[in-house]
Every structure is written in structure tokens, then in C-alpha cells.
Structure 1
Amino acid sequence: MPTWAQLAEIGRDLRFYPSLTKHPKVLIQEQVTNFNRVGYIKGIPIFDEAEIGEHRQYFDALLASVIAEGGSSYSIISAHMKYGKVYDLLTHPRIVACVKDLIGEDVIGWGAHYFCKMPHDSKTVGWHQDAGYWPLSPSKTVTVWLAIDDAAVENGAMRFIAGSHHLGHLTARHSDPDDNSVLGQIVENAEQHGESVDVELKAGEISIHTDLLLHGSNANPSSKRRCGLTLRYCTSDVQASYRWNREGVVVSGKDNSGHWGNPPRPTVD
């Protein structure tokens, strides 16, 4: 992960670029309008109970394997580069169709990271903006959060600060051990920037948010696991530093610049 100083040297364009879509094919125009206004869409059904149940079983086995090898429930990153079934989710037509309705025809899928809060997990995810971590410019990236398990307030559902993406890149501080946060950055007093919204999702549903939207999540004091798979997408004109472009897959349209690596599907399922 690049340091803050390294990211500052890149001179990134961290402005919100609103969706210009006038005739969405899967979403409705109201959803596109709301995405521009509040920075997110939530509760989009993608997979039925049987379909998401199959992937949940896959993830259960994957998690057991990763933990047995010394990893954790948060350490399964760049998963589309390692596991064919995750690559299939990153490139899944139903998910990509929603993304295209927001950012256009030429789309790169460049990241896949499981965020799995185990039962009675005391860790939080402090308020942050995704753009604060990524060496990408301009700021034309969205995150799809696919609920593998039901996500509710009681088990640490994600939270958004509605409309905070219009403020540009906000100053964050490094988290410290007392914060008990999974990630390394925290934006202080985030609630002053807008309404806090709980993102409760049924398994198989997705939310989508822009990379400038403040978001985070509370601990999971319940007996129910809360797992989500984050899938990251950007327009093909985005440039990635520090060789992050190697992991970008052309999931729709073209990459006319040839900047992105477009790796093949992994053979390991």
C-alpha cells in the first residue's frame, strides 16, 4: 500500500465525477440521480438464496483454508487474482451491468477483498474514504459491496455518510491501537459531514458507493457472522501508479490505452 507521502506526490484528481447516464439499462433513473446526490445505492438484488448460498459455502471453505495457513478473516485481498470463483463474481454480467449504468461502457474491475466480521468481533472500520488509500487518478472508481451473509445493524453493517462525496478528499489521521480499527485511516468527526445511514443488506444484495464517500462500520457483538465481498471498478481512462494496473480486468468495453493488465481467470477455484 503506498504511503500518504507517495500518494501526495502523484498529484491525483480527487473530484467527484457524477454519472452522466440518461438511459440506464438495469438501474432506474432515480437510482442514478440518487447516486449522484448521496454517493451510493443500496439494496440491489443480484443473487437468489440458492446462488448466494453456493458462494457462501465456497467462502466458508476458503476462509477455513486461509485461517489454517495463518491468515485472518480480513486478509483475503486481490482475491480475483488467486481464485477463479471470485474472478467470476468480479466479471459477473449482473453486477457489471449495474456498474455500467453508473460509470459507462468501458469498465475495469481491479480489486476484490473480503471483509468478514466473525461473531463477537470487536474490531471496527473507522470512517474513511476509499480514495485515501488508492494510487488512482482521476477519482472514477466505485465499490460494489456484495453481501455474502445478511448484514444488519446488530452484526456490524456498513454505514455511509450521505452526500459526503461532494466534499472532495478529506484529511484523515493514522489509526492507533486504541481505535481497534481494521484499516489504517480515520476521518475525525465524520458525522458533521452528513446523515449517517445504515446499509442493511440481505445476502445476495449489493450496495454501490463512490470512492469519495465516507463510510465505516461498527463492531459485531452478535453471534452472527457478517461477510461482504468488495468488488472495485473504474473507468478505463483511470491511471494507476505503483503497478496497480497489473490487476485490472477489462470487464466491459475496451481499454484503448492498454494501461490495464487484463489478467486471465485463475485456474484455482
Structure 2
Amino acid sequence: MKEAFERDGFVCPINVMSAEDAAGYRRQLEEAEARHGADKSFRKILRRYPNLALPFVDEITRRPEITDVIAEILGPDLLVLDAPFFIKDANTKSFVSWHQDLHYWGLETEEEVTAWVALSPATKESGCMRFVAGSQDRQVDHSDTFAEDNLLTRGQEVAVKVDERDATEAELMPGQMSIHHGRVFHASHPNRTDDRRIGLAIRYIPAHARQTDGGNMAAMLVRGEDRYGNFRPCRPPAGLMTKQDLAHWSEIAGARNAVMLDGKQG
């Protein structure tokens, strides 16, 4: 696993839970959407630190079937920097442009692994993740497009030409995941099927990771121990969208947004 990850910058598919477990998590998500979807802040929560307000997301990030894989690469002490949902509704134009994650994250280290967990089928037709093998070995400039249908915060995309023939389609079934390095080129097409494409992108970093100067971000300890204190600690949610958890989320998400939206970060 580690050898393939270091060579290609990604590995897929990896079985991490049963289809029944994945369906159960999807059901909890859609029940929360039905209950809180009218609240404008809820959609923001799905895209930034949902593990602070939705207990089932926190549970997914701690599953040993997932963290065992990540620990093989990053070591036993793991923090979650964020865990956003990437949801493409049926027959919509939402897409993700070619980009490198770490370009905007305010981290000194390149030690990061994203686990992209499928809660619905992620196929070529539904807009699965796409990777360019080996592209994690270089850092390239990005431009911000703020394109309306781009799911990325700034519509960021690499400022180089990507040969589409080099792309690997990372198809996943519910309960499977891919893992990828924060520098590997990745993107995805729109969902042209009649079902939603639902993925949870869990951003794992080792406890010894550091922020760039002036960083004030938080992270959740999910495995092992944090002997460094380089990030403000998060606390697990007490319940579903509780008042105290929403206040905690607002504070934590605000500091992360300041990094993600700061054009000087790179």
C-alpha cells in the first residue's frame, strides 16, 4: 500500500466498510439534510468540519479500517484537519477542476493523506475522482476561477495543461475509499446519473505536522496521541447540530476559512 501510494500519489479502491454500513451513513446524512437543510449554515457545515456537528461523520473518521491504512503511511498519531462532503446531485453540472490540495492549506509539511470515502456509487458517469499518477512529485502554480459550478472554494485549478489521457478514473462502490497525496493532480467530471454522488474527503495529518507562520487552525485527534500541540484541539460533537457544537464549529471553521480564502497562502 505505502509503496504504491509513494509511487503514484494515490491508491484505489480500498474496502473499508460494508455496503450496508455505507447505506446507513448515507441515511443519517439524508435524515440530517431533511431536518436541517433549510438552515443556510447547514450546507456550510457539510463543506467544512462536519465532524464537529454530525456525530456519524466523526465516527467515520475514527473507523480503524480507515485509520489503519492511513497510519501505515503517516504513523500512529493522526489528526483530522477537515472532513468535507463532496456531493454532486443527480444530473447536475458540478465538477472539480484539476488541482493540488496542499497549495492552499497553510501547512509546512507535505505529509498529508486524504481518504475519499464513497457513500454512493462513484463511477465515470457520476463524476468519480480522477488522478494523474506521479504528479505529486512537483508543485505547480494555480489560478482562481471562482467558476459557478466548481465545487472548490476558489474554483482553483493548476496553471499547466493536463493531458486527459494521463488520468486514472478512481471508481468506487459504497463502502470503498481511495487515498491520495495532497500534491497529486486530481479532478472530477459532473454527475450525469439519476443518483447522487456522495463522498466524504477526510484530511489526515500526523500529529507532528506544523502550520505556516501565523496559522490558527484546529484539528481533531482521532488516533494515538498528540504530544506536539501544533493545532488547536477540536472536541467531538455532543449530538446532532447541538447549540454548543455549532458555536464550536463557527470558531474552528472561521480560522480554517481564513487560510483557505487567503490568496497569500500557497
Same fold by TM-score greater than 0.5? yes
Deviation by residue 1:235-269 (Cα, 9 ceiling, x = unmatched): 1111135321x2x1222222222223333321113
Aligned mate of 1:43, from 1, 9, 13: 13
Aligned mate of 1:242, from 215, 218, 225: 215
Deviation by residue 1:53-75 (Cα, 9 ceiling, x = unmatched): 11110011123344322368676
Aligned to 1:122: 93
Rounded to whole Å, the distance in 2 between the matches of 1:261 and 1:72 is: 23
Rounded to whole Å, the distance in 1 between the matches of 2:120 and 2:161 is: 27
Say whether 1:222 aligns with 2:196: no
> What's the offset of the Cα at 1:202?
0.5
Say whether 1:180 aligns with 2:153: no
2:132–2:166: 8 Å Cα contact kept in structure 1?
Answer: yes
Q: Which amino acid aligns with 2:22?
A: I
2:4–2:10: 8 Å Cα contact kept in structure 1?
Answer: yes
Rounded to whole Å, the distance in 1 between the matches of 2:191 and 2:70 is: 29
Q: Which amino acid aligns with 1:172?
A: H
Q: Which amino acid aligns with 1:231?
A: I
Q: CA 1:129–1:65 in 2, change beyond 3 Å: closer, same or farther?
A: farther
Deviation by residue 1:195-226 (Cα, 9 ceiling, x = unmatched): 20101000000110010011011111221210
SS in 2 for 1:230: strand
2:140–2:159: 8 Å Cα contact kept in structure 1?
Answer: no
Deviation by residue 1:113-139 (Cα, 9 ceiling, x = unmatched): 000000011021111111012011111
Rounded to whole Å, the distance in 2 between the matches of 1:206 and 1:214 is: 17
Q: Which amino acid aligns with 1:182?
A: L
Rounded to whole Å, the distance in 1 between the matches of 2:90 and 2:44 is: 13
- Quote the sequence identity (%): 25
Aligned to 1:57: 27
Q: CA 1:251–1:80 in 2, change beyond 3 Å: closer, same or farther?
A: same
> What's the offset of the Cα at 1:232?
0.8
Q: CA 1:81–1:156 in 2, change beyond 3 Å: closer, same or farther?
A: same
Rounded to whole Å, the distance in 2 between the matches of 1:149 and 1:262 is: 31
194-203 or 63-72: bigger deviation: 63-72
TM-score (norm: length of structure 2): 0.82
SS in 1 for 2:162: helix
Rounded to whole Å, the distance in 1 between the matches of 2:187 and 2:20 is: 29
Aligned to 2:249: none
- Structure 2: 5+ residue stretches without partners: 241-266
Q: How does 1:78-117 map to 2 (within 5 A)?
A: 78-117=49-88
1:164–1:213: 8 Å Cα contact kept in structure 2?
Answer: yes
> What's the offset of the Cα at 1:193?
9.4
Q: Which amino acid aligns with 2:174?
A: A
Say whether 1:208 aligns with 2:179: yes
Rounded to whole Å, the distance in 1 between the matches of 2:104 and 2:7 is: 23
Q: CA RMSD in A?
A: 2.0
Rounded to whole Å, the distance in 2 between the matches of 1:107 and 1:122 is: 35
TM-score (norm: length of structure 1): 0.81
Q: Which amino acid aligns with 2:33?
A: L
Q: CA 1:172–1:51 in 2, change beyond 3 Å: closer, same or farther?
A: same
Q: CA 1:230–1:58 in 2, change beyond 3 Å: closer, same or farther?
A: same
Deviation by residue 1:43-101 (Cα, 9 ceiling, x = unmatched): 11111121111111001112334432236867612111112111111112211111001
> What's the offset of the Cα at 1:145?
0.3
Q: Which amino acid aligns with 2:61?
A: L
Aligned mate of 1:67, from 37, 41, 45: 37
